[in-house]
Amino acid sequence: MTTIAAGSIELGTIPFNLYAPDHKGRLVLFCKAGYPITEKHIGVLKNRDRGFYIGGDDYEAYLDYAHKRLDNIISDPEIRISDKANITHGIAKRTVRNLLDNPASAVSLQESERVVDTFRDLILFSTEAASNLFSFSSLDPYTFSHSINTSIFCLLLGEKLVGAEDEVLSLLGMGGLLLDIGKSKIDPRILFKPAKLTDRELEQIRKHTIYGYEIVNEIGMPEPILAICRSHHERLDGSGYPDGLKGDEIHPFARIAAISDVYDALTSDRIYRKQSSHLHALTTIAKEIQAYDLEVFGALLDIVLRNDQLISTFCDQHIPRGFRQEVYEASKRAASVKNGEELPDGGKITAALLAIKQEGSSVPPPEKPAARPTQG
């Protein structure tokens, strides 16, 4: 059984069985699939504190139902932001699966754009929503969860760096969703190989940037999305691929995508390694700061360290306030340094992160927020 937001149910026929607990707490059928929700039902739905439930087999049907009503759900002030985020997340996962299966499908693309716009609206409304949008699945090494998370990081970073411009943010969010689409052309035996890759295999995997670029080019995506797909593994010091670009040669959106991509990759379980803590991930990036855009990294620190809910979503360690402030100050100074200039605070950021890491591991973690309903 999965809980659903009562506010997502409207007048009219429902395509799933809807259950609610009776006065003894036992789940009973509230409205049967194929039967209409009436005014009377709505009255109960609105005034009841207890949850409403659907069976696991009906989840797809519920998503279809919610998808058609997504705009109403998002704009309804009575529906909690966490419920909005959970519904959007369920829809996003399915949309991304369809998109990766068939990138040339106009329907998949349109749906993905809508999902990204919904992510964007939720994030602009409340950064707290972002923590409900992240997706964690250890059985999903590169596709759905990674695409969704990278898209959300691109949106969060974009909002900090570029501002709340709808069109720009949509491009960034869509780029994040599509950046690894070229992996659909890589042999899964290489992609999911649980052991060290040979040089030849590594070369194959690196081609996902070119394949991705070709796919999005073919379906007529705009230039910033082409740049994200092709250049998200380029590094500012020229150590990246596929074109070995340096500094300003790399599109600014691709620099945002690079940090979003690597941060999610480091904090998620992969088939070839366990996830690292988010502090470890930040420290890893800080140690290689010459490869990344400092301003983007400053924005990432700001987002992650300033947002308690994100920290508890990423779940690993308690971060003492004093250290958090220190890193925040360091990140602000880092953000004022132009690319290519000396990076006076790179070392300080790394030192502060390492200090947090040591300090954090000796303090008990805060209580985790309630788990996401079962669709996770």
Q: Which residues bind Fe ion (CB under 5 A)?
A: 180, 261
The one-letter code for the residue type at 341 is E
CB of 271 to Fe ion, least distance (A): 14
First-residue to last-residue Cα distance in the chain: 13
What is the Cα–Cα distance from 80 to 73, expressed in whole angstroms? 10
Shortest reach from residue 74's CB to Fe ion, in Å:
28
CA distance 247 to 244: 10
Give me the least distance between CB of 43 and Fe ion, in Å please. Answer: 48
In this structure, the number of other CB atoms found within 10 A of the CB of residue 102 comes to 12
116/356 with CB nearer Fe ion = 116
Supply the angle between the helices 346-361 and 278-287 in degrees, to the nearest 10: 160
Q: Pick between residue 212 and residue 373 the one whose CB is nearest to Fe ion.
A: 212
Beta-carbon contacts of 73 under 8 Å, excluding residues fewer than 6 positions away, are 5, 7, 8, 66, 79, 84, 87
CB of 187 to Fe ion, least distance (A): 16
Residue with smaller CB distance to Fe ion, 73 or 100: 100
For Fe ion, the closer CB: 208 or 357: 208
44 or 197, CB closer to Fe ion?
A: 197
83 or 180: whose CB is closer to Fe ion? 180
Taking the complex as a whole, the smallest distance from the CB of residue 76 to Fe ion amounts, in Å, to: 34
**In this complex, which beta carbon is closest to Fe ion, that of residue 103 or of residue 346?**
103
Minimum CB distance to Fe ion, residue 255 (Å): 14
Q: Write down the least CB distance from residue 201 to Fe ion, Å.
A: 15
Q: Is there a contact between 19 and 30 (Cβ–Cβ < 8 Å)? A: yes
Q: How far is the CB of 235 from Fe ion (least distance, A)?
A: 13
CA distance 28 to 52: 10
Q: How far is the CB of 233 from Fe ion (least distance, A)?
A: 6
Residue with tokens 């068939």: 102
Q: How many angstroms separate the CA atoms of 171 and 174, rounded?
A: 5
Q: Where are the beta strands (DSSP E) in the chain?
A: 2-4, 12-13, 18-21, 27-31, 36-37, 52-54
Q: In whole angstroms, how close is the CB of 260 to Fe ion at the nearest point?
A: 9
SS3 content of the chain, % helix, strand, coil (to 5): 60, 5, 35
Of 261 and 326, which has the nearer Cβ to Fe ion?
A: 261
Asked if residues 213 and 132 have their Cβ atoms less than 8 Å apart, the reply is no
Do the beta carbons of residue 375 and residue 90 sit within 8 Å? yes
Q: Is 213 left (phi over 0), alpha (psi -120 to 50) or beta?
A: alpha
Q: Which is nearer to Fe ion, 70 or 266 (CB)?
A: 266
As a whole number of angstroms, the distance between CA 355 and CA 374 comes to 36
What is the DSSP-derived secondary structure letter of residue 290?
Answer: G
Please identify, using beta-carbon distances, which residue of 6 and 155 lies nearer to Fe ion: 155
Strands 12-13 and 18-21: unpaired
